[in-house]
Amino acid sequence: MLHSLFSPSVQHALDLVGIFVFAISGALLAVRKNFDVFGIAVLAEVTALGGGLFRDLIIGAVPPAAFSDLGYFVTPLLATVLVFFLHPEVERTQTAVNVFDAAGLGLFCVTGTTKAYDYGLGLTSSAALGLATAVGGGVLRDVLANEVPSLLRWDRDLYAVPAIVGATMIVLFIRFDLLNAGTSGLAVVTAFLLRIAALKYHWRAPRAWNRRSSTLEEA
């Protein structure tokens, strides 16, 4: 099914773009944490490839694309070099990085869901793996950097919800035999726009109802 939506060359190019922008976010966090060049490279690789690697191992797509395609491995290293030498300039373009990161989120939740379904998973499991593809690298990045994953923090703008919406749209399109390049693009754009809106308006998920906690709020 995946190959019928996008040509291999287009799919590969889109994957590399998503990998690159995710790697930028990982490398920038490493710089903020004062990591050395090796640490920057590790965080860039993990952020860019972690979600897809997890998905491929779960569905049995081995060896994973991260190891069978040199471009997937080299692209985060290019991001590492860029951030290592030009991180002040990259920081100043953070808005642009956020836009591309949102695009990568939308793309990966869709391609992750579709690939999981191609390998025989049910609709719900496919959507879950689509979500994991989109956000898994960021969770691993934060864990390695000794931070509470952004995915779990109430004070961060919605990230997982746009990916869930995109993945849910894909499984609904599959269920009603409506999946094609156009509807897949619609799901990508919807997840992308939700993430951009969350960044602009600071949308956040609600916390526990009638919450009573003495835990100090994190800055």
For 140-192, what is each residue's pLDDT tens digit?
Answer: 999 999 999 988 888 889 999 999 999 999 999 999 999 998 999 999 999 99
Domain count, the chain: 1
Domain, as residue range, for 121:
2-201
In a domain, 131, yes or no: yes
In a domain, 208, yes or no: no
**Does position 5 have pLDDT exceeding 70, yes or no?**
no
In a domain, 217, yes or no: no
Contact status, residue 199 vs residue 95, Cβ threshold 8 Å: no
**Does position 1 have pLDDT exceeding 70, yes or no?**
no
Question: For the stretch 87-103, what's the b/e string if a residue is b when 16 or more beta carbons lie within 10 angstroms of its beta carbon?
Answer: beebeeeeeebbbbbbb
In a domain, 218, yes or no: no
Query: pTM for this one?
Result: 0.88
